[in-house]
Amino acid sequence: MFRKIIKFIKLVLFALLLVLGLILIYDRFFSYKNIAIVHNNQNVRNIEIFLTDNNVAINNIDTSRMDTDMCKRKIEGADGVIFAGGNDFDPDIYGGDRSLVEEYSREDDEKSLELLDYCIKENKPILGICRGMQLINIYYGGSLYDDLEKQFSKEIIHRGSDKTLTYHEINIRGGTSLSKIVKSDRIEVNSYHHEGIKDLAEGLSVSATSDDGLIEAIENPYYSYMLGVQWHPELSYENDKYSKKILKDFVKHSNAGKN
């Protein structure tokens, strides 16, 4: 009788190890999630590389080339949506100054806002990067500085004079989702933007600020998963553990709004 019990236990353990092995193999070699990247004719190759390396299927959605219905169809089956960096916004949307902005498209802005609205109604996990973070703020009723140097401060250079990346540190607020992700209260980030959040929309929370007081990250504490960062983690994740943590956390929580 004792031998039969031992044999049964061995069989159970073997079965458990077999199942675990199959799960690990599937997780390593097969895509099990699909993430949509929404952008306006931008280079999103670095985001694609990260997702591919993490066995995530990609829906590349270029709003400058696709109509709204096509974009929505591609978003529909996505487990999460990244709103990537890109052009400026038409300042008329939030009461800004058109003379201070660079390239923009009102048609594309309105399409991006409609797609964000669709994602929210479908409860899709959302990560906003640079323009994507600003999009979230505008959607909820916030505004932007059209030109940081002219309207805000020159204390920190947020974009090089020849439109190159710069770097500076940011302060992360305790108790926020971002703080729980990176597990640090101060990190260095890359920076490539001349616009920034001016008035934070009602309902959103500040996750991080730079030393000059500019908002660098936001989140919606009333939504299943919505994080916006002003920098580009996809450009730094190979050498920066904090950027990698942010991207990996988003992938982890991307599950078609079933949080």
Where in the sequence numbering do the catalytic residues fall?
Answer: 130, 232, 234
CA 164 to chain CA centroid, nearest Å = 21
Q: Give Cα 95 to chain centroid, integer Å.
A: 25
DSSP per-residue codes, 75-98: HHT-SEEEE---PBP-GGGTT--G
Residue 42 neighbours by CB under 8 Å, 6+ apart? 84, 85, 86
Cα 183 to Cα 107, 137, 178, 180, 224: the distances in Å are 39, 25, 8, 5, 20
- In angstroms, the CA 250 to CA 185 distance is 19
Q: How far apart are CA 130 and CA 216, in angstroms?
A: 9
> What is residue 122's DSSP assignment?
T
Angle between helices 68-76 and 106-121 (to 10 degrees): 30
